[in-house]
Structure 1
C-alpha cells in the first residue's frame, strides 16, 4: 500500500487512468465494426498501466517490509516472496 499521501494520490490517479482505459476499451468492443488493431493496442496499453501500478506498489511493499528493524520476520519475507511469485506469473 502507498504509505505517503503523495504515493496514495499517485496510485489513485493511475487507477483512474486504468479505469478510463477500461471504459474506452468496453466502448470500442461494443461499437459495431470496430477494428481489432486499435482494440489490441488499447488492451496492451492497459496491461502496461496495470503492470506499472503493480510494480510501484510491490516496490513500496518490499521497501517497507525490508526496512523492519532489526530484521524482517520470516512471515514478512514469505509474504513478500509470494507476492513476487504472483507478480511474475
Structure 2
C-alpha cells in the first residue's frame, strides 16, 4: 500500500488546512488588509506547503528508496525522479 494511501487522512487534513489558509489569504487581499498581515499569511501558507512537501518526500524516500525489494536500477531511477521534483520545487 502506498504511503499516501496509508497516511491519506493525515495528508488530507493538512491539505484542508492549507486550503483554509489560502482562502483566508484571498479574503485578506480582497478586503485590503494591511500588507504586513498579508505577508504573514503568505509565510504561513508557505510553511504549511513546505511541511506537506517534507512529509510526502520522507514517506516516498522511506517506501521507495529504502525498500528491500527495490533493485539498484529502481532506486537510481527513483532517485533521479525525486531530484527532479526537488529541483522544480526549489525554483
Tell me how far 1:14 sits from its aligned partner: 0.5
How many residue pairs match? The answer is 86
Please name the residue that 1:87 is paired with. Answer: 89
List 4+ stretches of structure 1 deviating above 3 A.
Answer: none
The structure with the largest helix share of the pair is: 2
Unaligned runs of 5+ in 1: none
Distance 1:20 1:70, change over 3 A: closer
Unaligned runs of 5+ in 2: none
Tell me how far 1:62 sits from its aligned partner: 1.1
Please name the residue that 1:54 is paired with. Answer: 53
Structure 1 range deviating more: 38-47 or 59-68: 59-68
SS at match of 1:45: helix
Q: Once superposed, what is the RMSD of the aligned Cα atoms?
A: 1.7
Report if aligned partners of 2:64, 2:70 keep a CA contact under 8 Å in 1. no
**Given the two structures, how large is their TM-score scaled by the length of structure 1?**
0.83
**Given the two structures, how large is their TM-score scaled by the length of structure 2?**
0.82
Report if aligned partners of 2:25, 2:41 keep a CA contact under 8 Å in 1. yes
